[in-house]
Each structure stands twice: as structure tokens, then as C-alpha cells.
Amino acid sequence: MTHVNDKADPITIAYIGGGSREWAWKLMSDLALEESLSGEVRLYDIDYAAAQDNASIGNRLSSRTDVKGKWNYTAVRSLPEALAGCDFVIISIFPGTFEEMASDVHTPEKYGIYQAVGDTVGPGGLVRALRTVPMYVEIAEGIRDYAPEAWVINYTNPMTICTAALYEVFPKIKAFGCCHEVFGTQRLMVSMLAEMLGIEGVKRNEIKVNVLGINHFTWLDSASYKGLDLFPLYKAFVDKHYEEGFEARGTEYWKTDIFAAANRVKFDLFRRYGLIAAAGDRHLAEFMPPSYLKDPQTVAECKFSLTPVEWRVGHRKEQVLRNQRLAQGEEQVDLKPSGEEGVQQIKALLGLGELVTNVNLPNQGQMLGLPQGAVVETNAVFSRNSIKPVIAGQLPLGLHSLVARHVTNQQTVLQAALTKDKSLAFQAFINDPLVTLDVKDTESLFQQMLDNTKAYLPGWSI
């Protein structure tokens, strides 16, 4: 790939999950705002009609006079057609339907197990992984056969297991997983600087951090702004807001936005371990024993929300209606940055600058004390056709033991999914910190959840 005058030659992006009714629109907006990139986006989805709608939406956007990046969007019917000869692959899929997701999130509630998200760890995250891995095996085989040199950006959860599955099937794949949770913690520190020191107008990426951990259970052991060590300030900030929490968008905002939180879990973990937890409260709580997720009352006291799947169903209906308006030209895509870094990463990989950001990659030594090859989340340096992980160091012993438990469990889940081994999957299930039931109830819950997702477990003996 070449570029002249800070513009790359046209590139081809394969978007797997191209019928997306949210992530795809964000990508379209980011591509439209970037004048140095252009080319073709092939949209592949098992819902071909949804991919066709997005192709119409993307082409309408590209025809606008206020758009800098010009792209041709095409819906394709097969994975090989999407992948053949492409330069980049973006994966953002929803594994299963809301019926399976409702089982992931709500079946454990019958046994007193509550999950705020249910897509990464806990009973829901595990079962979601079991049905997602077969999809990722097919995707990895397709990339191996049709686009072996392409860079692959994964957005799907469970992030760690999905990214690891790609490497398990195609060890030479050039894949990495992206998550915006660390960005939220950087934005929290922007608010902290404004409140505590009166420093306004700081950009999120001006907060320099060292990231170490695994996706949705990431930690910062250093944070600075223009050479100022932010840890002492963060301690004072936590002390000030520990009891009531802190919400940049106003007190009690967590009650009106189902994805919001008052950072009380994050602050409590800082006092307990001395490092800054760099994910949102809803995710962090699921990695711990159920002290924050004991029951809905405890969740409310911690000032975050459980996300009922019925809310997601209603939100999807709204998205479908908006999709129709966008496809018919009755509404326009919002031309504003999404806050994601996918386009910046693509630019850096094409040689248009350099970028340092947090990503999920197999451990090559960047996370000390964790197994080689296990997918971990640290900073990495993006440059022309290269991603080099930054050596992040090792977590303190107490935190390391928590993270290592999840690393081992996620590796176990992946192997269970690849080998269709129910016994191995149960071993991981009963070893999750949220599962505090006796063996009989654990077996009953596990069997119900497998039964509810068996349509996505071909070849399993359930």
C-alpha cells in the first residue's frame, strides 16, 4: 500500500456483521470524516437485507458534499466474496438472537446470580462464548483462505475469547481486539482535572496511561497529564466522591442512562488494590465475587444498572425504524466522530502516522506473569504494517491472582468450545467467581443455559 501527500491508495474493507444497526453507522461516519482514506467497504451479514440497507445508507452518505472520505459500499452474499483480496477486516457480530441473550442474562437470576451485561464473564459470558467460537472458527478459516495478509479488527464480545479463537484457527492472522472502556476512564480523569485543578479543555488522549490486564478487567498503574502524576490527584478525587460517586453528566444520571454509572465500583477497587480500574462499573463488577452484584438493591446502592434484555429488544426496534428512515433518505447519518479508534488504527497501519493505544493481543511478554499466547490488553504501537505491544509489566499479587483466574478460565472456555467438551465447559462454569451455588444447582443452571442455546452448538452432546 502506498500513499502520496498524506493520502493512501484506495483500500478494501470487509465488514463482517455489515448489517449492524449501530456500529456500522459509526464506522461510516468516521470514514466519511477522514479525507486521507477512500475505497470500498463490502458489507457481509447473515441478514443480507440489513447489509443492503447499510450499503444504501453508506452510499447516500458518501454522496454528500460535506463528506471528505469517499467510499463505495456494497452488500455481498458470502464470506469469501467479502474477504477476497481485502486489506482490512472488521468483525462486529451479534452471536445468536435476543432469545439466547435473555437466557444468558436472566436464567441465572432464578438462582440469585445477577449480571449487569452478561457478555464477557459470568454464566452469561461463558455460554455466549460457547456459541460465538464456532462462528469465529468459520471467519478465521475464511480469512486464512481468502485474505491471509489482511489486518483484522475485532469488536465482538467476549473480546478475549473471540480474538484468541482467531489465532487458534489461523496462528499467522494479523488480528487485534478493540475496546473503548479505557477511553471512559481517561475521560473521567479529564473531569477530575477540571474539578480538582480547574484545568479545562483537556483531550482524552492527552491522559497518558499504562494499561495492563484483560478486556473489561483492565488496570492502570500509571497515569499522567503533561508530566503531572495523576495518581495522588486520583486518590484525593476518590476520597472526595467515594460515598456518593461521581457522574460527569450530573447527579443520578445513572438512573436515566442504562449504561451509565457513578464509578462507585471503580473507586472501591482503587481503595482495595491501589490501581485504577480502567473499565466501567457494569463490566468490572462481573469479574469479582458477587459483592457488587449480590442483588438488585446492592446494584442500585452501587449506582449502576442491570441491563434487561427487554430494553435491548426495544432499543433494537427503534434502531430498525431509524435504519428504514436512513435507507430511504428521510434521515441523515450524524456526521460526527464516534470516539472509536478504528480509522486511526487503519491510518497508522497504512503508514499515515503512528498511534499508541490499548488493544487486545496474544501475550508476547507484554504482560509478565501470564501465559504466553493468552490474549491480554495493553498498549501497543501502531505503525506501517506493524503492531508492537508495549511491555506493561505485572500486576500486584492480589490483582494478579484475580486476573490470572479469569485468564485460565477463558482459555478453558475456548478449548471447550473448540472441542465441544461439555465437561470442560462445566469446569470453567463452576470456577467463575459469580457462580457461588452448590454443585447440584450449578449443574442445573448450566444444563438449562446449554439447552437454551443448543441451536448454536452443532456437534455437542447436550
Which string of DSSP letters, residue by residue, matches 82-111?
HHTT-SEEEE----S-HHHHHHHHHGGGGG
Nearest Cα residue to 87 out of 4, 151, 172 = 151
- 217 domain-assigned: no
> Residue 214's pLDDT band (boundaries 50, 70, 90)?
very high
Q: What is the pLDDT of residue 250?
A: 86
Q: What is the pLDDT of residue 22?
A: 86
Q: Report pLDDT digits (tens) over 226-247.
A: 999 999 999 999 999 999 999 9
Helix (H) or strand (E) holding 443: helix 439-452
> In which domain, by residue range, is 101 found?
10-180+321-349
- In this prediction the pTM is 0.96
- 191 domain-assigned: no
User: Is residue 68 pLDDT above 80, yes or no?
Assistant: yes
Helix (H) or strand (E) holding 12: strand 11-16
Helix (H) or strand (E) holding 168: helix 159-169
- Residue 270 in contact with residue 68, Cβ under 8 Å? no
More confident residue, 392 or 4: 392
- 291 domain-assigned: no
Question: How many C-beta neighbours within 10 Å does residue 265 have?
Answer: 27
If one counts the domains in the chain, the total is: 1
Question: How many C-beta neighbours within 10 Å does residue 54 have?
Answer: 27
User: Is residue 220 pLDDT above 80, yes or no?
Assistant: yes
- 284 domain-assigned: no
Q: What is the pLDDT of residue 3?
A: 53
- 116 domain-assigned: yes
- Residue 179 in contact with residue 215, Cβ under 8 Å? yes
Pairing of strands 276-277, 375-383: unpaired
Is 241 labeled as catalytic in the residue annotation?
no
- 128 domain-assigned: yes
Q: What is the pLDDT of residue 389?
A: 98
User: Is residue 4 pLDDT above 90, yes or no?
Assistant: no
Q: Report the percent of the chain where pLDDT is more than 70.
A: 99
If you ran DSSP here, which 8-state letter would residue 216 be given?
T
Summarize the confidence of residues 152-173 as an average pLDDT: 98
If you ran DSSP here, which 8-state letter would residue 206 be given?
G
Question: How many C-beta neighbours within 10 Å does residue 251 have?
Answer: 12
38: domain CATH number?
Answer: 3.90.1820.10
- Mean pLDDT over all residues of the chain? 96
- Residue 398 in contact with residue 273, Cβ under 8 Å? yes
Q: Report the percent of the chain where pLDDT is more than 90.
A: 94
Q: What is the pLDDT of residue 5?
A: 56
Its sign, for the CA torsion 56, 58, 63, 64, is positive
- Give the 3-state secondary structure of residue 121: coil
Per the document, the length of the chain is: 462
> Residue 21's pLDDT band (boundaries 50, 70, 90)?
confident
Helix (H) or strand (E) holding 266: helix 264-273
> Which neighbouring-strand residues pair with 4?
7
> Considering just the CA atoms, what is the radius of gyration of the chain in Å?
22
- Give the 3-state secondary structure of residue 153: strand
If you ran DSSP here, which 8-state letter would residue 255 be given?
G
User: Is residue 7 pLDDT above 90, yes or no?
Assistant: no
Annotated ligand binding at 86? The verdict is: no
- 461 domain-assigned: no
Annotated ligand binding at 179? The verdict is: yes
- Give the 3-state secondary structure of residue 447: helix
Annotated ligand binding at 315? The verdict is: no
- 211 domain-assigned: no
Q: How many Cα atoms within 13 Å fall on the side-chain side of residue 49?
A: 3
Q: Report pLDDT digits (tens) over 27-52.
A: 999 999 999 999 999 999 999 999 99
Q: What is the pLDDT of residue 333?
A: 87
Of 3, 106, 180, 241, which is the active-site residue?
Answer: 180
Q: Report pLDDT digits (tens) over 264-310.
A: 999 999 999 999 999 999 999 999 999 999 999 999 999 999 999 99
